Structures are given as C-alpha cells and as structure tokens.
Structure 1
C-alpha cells in the first residue's frame, strides 16, 4: 500500500473502531438518537462532497433527493404494503433515474446558474410533496411503518445505531475506494479544469453525470432509513433550508475530504443541541461560529487542520 493510500485506510480503521466503541460511552437513548442522526446525515454529506468537493459541481437541492427516498419508503410501505427494503431500493432507483435524466442538461451549467438550477429542482420536489396530500399527507406529513428485514423488526436505539453505523462505514469505504480509483482521479481533474480534462481524453459529461447520480442515490438511501427511524416525516426534510444545511456541513467539514464530511455532519448536528442553552440567540451564535470557521479555516476543518499540522 502506498504512503498516499495509507492515511485514508488508517482513517477508515479508526472510524470503524470509534463506531464500535462509541455505544459504550453513550449513557442514554437521547445520545444514541444524536449519534444515529449524525451517521445518517454523514451518509448524505459524503455523497454531496463527492459532487461538490471532488468534482466542483454545486447542488442546492440535495434535500429533494433525500426527501424522495424518505417519501418513497413512507408511501410504498404505508399505502401499498411493500417490504421496507423493497421500498428503499425502489426509492433509490427512482431517484437515480430522475438524477440521470436531469444531470446532462443541468450539469452543462456552471457557477451560479448551476446553483440556481439545482435549487429549482429541490423546490419543485418540495412543492410536489406538499401538494400531493392524498399520498404524502401534504403539509401534515405521514407516518412511516417500522423497518424490518426478513420479518425481523429493527427496534430500539442500539439496533438502529448498528444499522446507521454500518451504513456510514460502508459508504465511507465506497467513497475512499472511488477517490483512489481512476474514476476518482478523473473527477479531481474535472474539478481542476474541465478544459484540460477534455484535452487529455476525459469524458467530463459522463463522469459528472455518474457522480451526480451516485450522490442522489446516497441521499435517497439515507432519507429512506431516516424515515423508518423517525417514524413520521414532513415536507420540511426536502426543503431549501435542509439543502443549505447539507451544503454547510460539506463546507465546514472540508471540501474534498470524506472524513471532513463526517466531522461537518457531526458538528452541525450537535450544534443545535448544544446551543439550545442560548434561548433566542442560538441562531446568532451558530452564525458566528460558521463565520469564524470560514475566516480562520477557509478550506474547512479537516483540510485546514491537516495542512497546519504538516506545516
């Protein structure tokens, strides 16, 4: 194994160890709940970071894909009695097909026009979920059946933690292997310069479409699992503010950093809980923390700290 690859695989082993030992330090169900939400958010953020950090394509509508997965599981299991795994797979497939159909025209755009197009996509999905009250429950939301596999129901915080941790570890492993593959190097070349990438023979459109679809599918899977875990979902999970929250997790943790994605998801999931003590001022304190991070650590936490440690 090369020196370049060793730190990443060492990081994966450390993550696995932390995930395995963390339940021993969690005192009650509340802390398990926070840990589960962090893991599921991290799955979405890792996929989004592949798109933004490694390929340089921004998305302000990723919560829409998250919501599609959640509502696919809710509707198919509640109204049509589908098994949860089948509903999750169907939601991921449908989301992937939608992302594939939209990727080519959308990803031809650049900069703020690309951001506006993805924002519009997210808004359309959110409005559709809101208005289709017969199936989705509209603004009131919809209850979601329990998650079961082969008749065995996932119940209790420890079982749900095991599911979320396993999913996070799997997605982290897949992302690290993708980055170290020729595909990952092509994505990073596209981020550096699309023109130069095309000159050396990289099909930039094909690679951008692939990573867009992959990030959408990961968001959908996390949305499905989250829906079964929470047990009740509302259109807000597919809304604009959730998309901004996901993008912020990517930026704060570190662009082009898988472990930065996990740290960003952890920090921004934990901060609202910690800042609840500042009644009426939590949003101000939250904003100040984000501003300070961008001023003093502009590359994000993990890349900036790693660079300072080397220098």
Structure 2
C-alpha cells in the first residue's frame, strides 16, 4: 500500500514538473511570466499551510504573519546590513520557526473557533508591529528590497541571463527559479506526508483522542507541523520580497491570510496538487474578472460560494472522484 502511495506521489510530481516547464510555451510577455512566478511562490506557501490544515486538521487564519516576517527579515538584512539573500532567507526561516514554536505551544491547545481566533490574533499582532516599527520596516509606506543574490550572482526581473545556451530575460529566469522552488517544496511535503510524522498528523486529524490513546504525542506533532508550515511561509515570503522589489505590511495582513486559507479549502484540503490548483485559480480569477469592473468582487465571491456548495471537498478531489467514477462505469460497461 505504501509503495502505491509513493508511486502516486512521484507521478504527481512528474506531472507538475512537466506542466511547469511546458508553461513558458504559452506565456507571451513579462506580465504573464510575473503572474506565473507569483503563482509558484504562493503555491509553495499554501503547500506548507496544507500540511497544517489539510493533514493535521489545525486551522490558521494568521499565516500571512509568518510570510510577512520572512519578507521583512530578508528585506531588512539585505538592505540595511549587507547580507546575501540566501543567508537572510535561511536565518529568517529559522527565527520564524522559533517564533512559531513559542506561540504555537499554547494556542494549539485550543480547538475550533478558539484556535481560529488565536491564530488570527497572531497575524494581527505581527502586522501591527510591522506597521509601527517605522525605523526598521518603513511603516505603512513599506521598504525596497534588493535583487536576489547567491554566490555573487544576481537574479533581477530586469536582468538578462544565459542558461544552457538559452538567452533569458529577468522575468523568464525568475519563473524558472520559482518553478524549481515549487517542485522542491512539493517534494519535501510529500516526503513528510509519507513518513511516520505524516501518519501521526493524519491520526491527529482523524481523532485527536484516539491518537493519544495509541501513544501519539499530539501536542508535539501539532507544534512540529505548525513550525514547518511557518518555515514554508517565511522562506516564500523572502523570495516574494526579492521578486517584488518592494514590500509593505500588507504582505502580513488579514487579506493575505484569508487568501492562503481559501486556496487550501478551494483546491482541496489534504491534496498537495489540489492546493496548487487552488492557488492558480485564485490568482487567475481577478485577471479574468477584471473586465467586469465593479462586479468583479461580487462575481469572485459568487464563484467561490458555488464551488464550495457543489464541490465541498475542493476542486481537484471532486474532479478526480468524477473521473474515477466515469472510468469505472466505462470499465463495467465493457465487461
């Protein structure tokens, strides 16, 4: 059974890689590449959040706070203290993981609405701090962030690069980099899911009482996955800051947190590929509905509402179930 699941994960990863590296054939200008890059970075963020929400069954309505902390730590250290991007990203992720562990231990004892409100409060506190610490963060006006650098090599949306004989502009190079990051994020998540830790998380989701009865240290595993999801958010926040070149406290705000959790729910909780689909859909919808002007928000909400009513398990699990039933029906008819 485990081998079958591992084969399915590998198949999904290969399919995702093919889609990501074939996508440039359909991207016509820098705007398309920039949008695809944002999708990849945000998709990697919600892959981490899905470990917490979809597999461990713990809600978080303030996850953008960790995303914002990673973005601002990288921005401050590279802009003001001359750090290289990779050390700033790594140290920022470690520090955010420590913060997540400190705040996660007490709040993860809560359940249901109480847990939702506690995580929401964490996000609000982080956003308020980023708004008020003007000397470090620039306050509501935000701050510039330099280009991403590694070993003296600079990745800028305005640069020009040669990769294996191919001439790439900055937008194309950033997309390929973000695509590789997304694949690595998915691979790490899949390995965690298929490990004993992943099985413990699923047991916590199924029944926390039953998990404790069979010897699962539920508090430890909930804290662990909370820290892992925060590290995902921090690392992707750092990349997002470098890619955008400018950040404001909005990256840690309530809107981003709701966007992240909606992507998980819409795509399919507990489905790694599903949450990536949710990220793509929610990033594309505003572009598709832009022509409707004042009706855009209404139509956006209506689409989400109808999806949740008729596809309560999420987009991808519902599609997979429908395809599976049709294939079984055809196989039965042929027999």
For normalisation by structure 1, the TM-score amounts to: 0.98
**Hey, what does 1:262 align to over in structure 2?**
276
The 5 A counterparts of 1:57-206 are 57-155=58-156, 156-206=170-220
- Offset, 1:201: 0.7
Task: Provide the alpha-carbon RMSD of the alignment.
Answer: 0.9
- In 2, distance between residues paired with 1:8 and 1:93? 28
- 3-state SS of paired residue (1:2): helix
Q: Which residue of 1 aligns with 2:287?
A: 273
CA distance in 2, matches of 1:297, 1:55: 21
User: SS of the residue aligned with 1:278?
Assistant: helix
Q: Which residue of 1 aligns with 2:163?
A: none
Using the TM superposition, give the Cα deviation of residue 38 of structure 1 relative to its aligned residue in structure 2, in angstroms: 0.4
Query: What whole-Å deviation, never above 9, does each CA across 1:128-160 have from its counterpart, x for those lacking one?
Result: 000000110000000001111111101201111
* Aligned-partner SS, 1:280: helix
CA distance in 2, matches of 1:262, 1:146: 26
CA distance in 2, matches of 1:4, 1:152: 39
> C-alpha displacement at 1:3, in angstroms?
2.5
Deviating 4+ runs (over 3 angstroms): none
1:64 CA drift (Å): 0.2
How big is each residue's C-alpha offset from its partner over 1:152-179, in whole Å with a ceiling of 9 and x where there is no partner?
Answer: 1012011111211111000101111111
Q: What is the SS of the residue equivalent to 1:153?
A: strand
In 1, Cα distance between the equivalents of 2:251 and 2:126?
11
Deviates more, 1:153-162 or 1:135-144: 153-162
Number of aligned residues: 311
Which residue is equivalent to 1:294? 308
- How far 1:278 sits from its partner (Å)? 0.6
1:25-36 → structure 2 map (5 Å cutoff): 25-36=26-37
Aligned residue number for residue 45 of structure 2: 44
| 17-26 or 241-250, which deviates more | 17-26
Gaps of 5+ in 2: 157-169, 326-335
Per-residue CA deviation, residues 35-90 of structure 1 (Å, 9 max, x unaligned), is 10000010110111110010000000000000000000111111111111111112
SS of equivalent to 2:106: helix
Equivalent in the alignment of 1:219: 233
Distance in 2, matches of 1:210 and 1:116, equals 20
The Cα shift of 1:273 comes to: 1.1
Q: CA deviation at 1:310?
A: 2.3
